[in-house]
Amino acid sequence: MTKAVTKLLHGRVMTNALKHKPTTRAGVMVTGGGYQGKTETGCEILATFEDTWLELRRHLNPDAVAGARDLHIPVAYVQTPVTAKPKSLCKAILNFYGAPIHPRMDLPELIRQVAASLHDHGTRALLLDDISRLRLHRADDQDTLDLIRAFMSMHVTLVLIGVDIPGSGLLREGRHDPRTGQVIFPSSRQAKVHGLEATQTERRFDLVELDHFRYDTDEQITAWIDHLTGVEAQLRLMNAPSDMLTRGRMPEYLFERTNGVVGLLERLIEDGCQEAIDSSKECLTESLLEGIAITVDGDTARDPGAGEVPAIPSVKSRSAADPRSAKRKRPRNTVLDDHGPAAADTGS
Tens-binned pLDDT, residue by residue, of the chain (348 aa): 788 899 999 999 999 999 888 778 899 999 998 888 899 999 999 999 999 999 988 787 877 667 665 678 999 999 998 888 999 999 999 999 999 898 889 999 999 999 999 988 999 999 999 998 888 778 888 888 888 888 888 899 999 999 888 877 777 767 777 777 787 776 655 555 444 444 444 568 888 988 889 999 999 999 999 999 999 999 999 999 999 999 999 999 999 999 999 989 999 999 999 999 999 999 999 999 999 998 776 565 666 665 666 777 766 544 444 434 444 555 544 444 444 444 334 343
What pLDDT score does 312 carry? 76
What pLDDT score does 344 carry? 38
Transcribe 128-142 into DSSP letters. EE-GGG--TTSHHHH
Rounded to 10°, the helix 262-278/250-258 angle is 120
Please work out, in degrees rounded to the nearest 5, the angle formed at the alpha carbon of residue 86 by the alpha carbons of 81 and 87.
85
Length of the chain: 348
Spatial separation of the C-alpha atoms in residues 21 and 15, rounded to whole Å: 12
Q: Give the predicted TM-score (pTM) of the model.
A: 0.76
Transcribe 186-203 into DSSP letters. PPPTTTTTTS---SSS-E
DSSP category for residue 164: S
What pLDDT score does 135 carry? 80
What pLDDT score does 342 carry? 42
Contacts of 209 (CB under 8 A, 6+ apart): 30, 31, 32
Spatial separation of the C-alpha atoms in residues 284 and 246, rounded to whole Å: 11
Spatial separation of the C-alpha atoms in residues 6 and 3, rounded to whole Å: 5
What pLDDT score does 347 carry? 41
What pLDDT score does 302 carry? 63
Transcribe 307-327 into DSSP letters. T-SPPPPPTTT--TT-GGGGT
If 0-12 CB within 10 Å is exposed, 13-18 middle and 19+ buried, where does residue 266 land? middle
